[in-house]
């Protein structure tokens, strides 16, 4: 998968790549979330309360086993989240009822959860200089869990908890089963020329 190879390349260069698990429910996980190195995020439903203990898995959130491990890695809120609107985008055009006060958009899906998690990653990196593998370890190792999440497949290690990730030592979290470095990606023999061109574009 050229996209996964490119994202692995970015990961090896120090970029924490967050990907959405998908919105097809149980026993369904697609690329690039199927890749075990990248940080894959599923969605929770906060049931319109501020109490995270009653958060449950969103029915649409994709999950499945890939490369011997369950995907996604973690979950984050992903239902009815208000964010900036992108006027003229496909989502905007097909969902006029989701527009809020002209400038905002109420969205649902694991892409929203990935955005929430990306914000958490940015905040974590603003406080600590940690590599992508360690960012993933921290978010997985400090994730919030509850009976509602534990009883449902697809929650990964639990819901992202930035407040814990910021103060936890990486060595106090479990090591990752899959990690990436620059030796992990490259061409298959039959598509070496295609990969060379693709790699040059990523490196530009």
- 111-151 tens-digit pLDDT: 999 999 999 999 999 999 999 999 999 999 999 999 888 87
Determine how many CB atoms are found less than 10 A away from the CB of residue 61. Answer: 29
User: How buried is residue 149: exposed, middle or buried, by Cβ count under 10 Å (0-12/13-18/19+)?
Assistant: buried
Segment (H or E) for 134: helix 132-141
Q: What is the band of 191 on the pLDDT scale with cuts at 50, 70, 90?
A: low
Q: State how far the Cα of 57 lies from the Cα of 156, in Å rounded to an integer.
A: 11
Q: Catalogue all structural domains in the chain, each as residue range(s) with its CATH number.
A: 2-182 (3.40.50.200)
User: What does the pLDDT look like over 150-167, one tens digit per residue?
Assistant: 877 789 999 999 999 999
Q: State how far the Cα of 51 lies from the Cα of 83, in Å rounded to an integer.
A: 21
Q: State how far the Cα of 34 lies from the Cα of 142, in Å rounded to an integer.
A: 22
Identify whether the C-beta of residue 112 lies closer than 8 Å to the C-beta of residue 43: yes
Nearest to 110 by CA among 81, 145, 68, 152: 81
Q: What is the band of 190 on the pLDDT scale with cuts at 50, 70, 90?
A: very low
Q: Biggest alpha carbon distance in the chain?
A: 53
User: What does the pLDDT look like over 35-56, one tens digit per residue?
Assistant: 999 999 999 999 999 999 999 9
């Amino acid at each position: 998968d050229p996209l996964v190879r490119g994202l692995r390349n970015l990961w090896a260069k120090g970029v924490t790549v967050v990907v959405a698990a998908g919105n097809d429910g149980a026993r369904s996980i697609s690329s690039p979330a199927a890749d075990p190195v990248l940080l894959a995020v599923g969605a929770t439903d906060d049931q319109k309360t501020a109490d995270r203990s009653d958060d449950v898995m969103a029915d649409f959130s994709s999950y499945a086993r890939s490369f011997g491990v369950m995907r996604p890695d973690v979950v984050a809120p992903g239902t009815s989240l208000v964010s900036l609107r992108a006027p003229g985008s496909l989502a905007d055009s097909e969902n006029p009822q989701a527009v809020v006060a002209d400038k905002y958009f109420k969205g649902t899906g694991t892409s929203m959860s990935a955005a929430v998690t990306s914000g958490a990653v940015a905040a974590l990196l603003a406080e600590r200089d940690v590599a992508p593998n360690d960012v993933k370890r921290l978010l997985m190792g400090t994730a919030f869990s509850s009976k509602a999440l534990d009883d449902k497949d697809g929650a990964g290690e639990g819901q992202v908890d930035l407040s814990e990730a910021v103060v936890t030592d990486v060595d106090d979290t479990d090591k990752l089963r899959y990690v990436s470095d620059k030796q992990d990606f490259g061409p298959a023999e039959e598509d070496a020329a295609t990969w060379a061109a693709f790699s040059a574009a990523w490196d530009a």
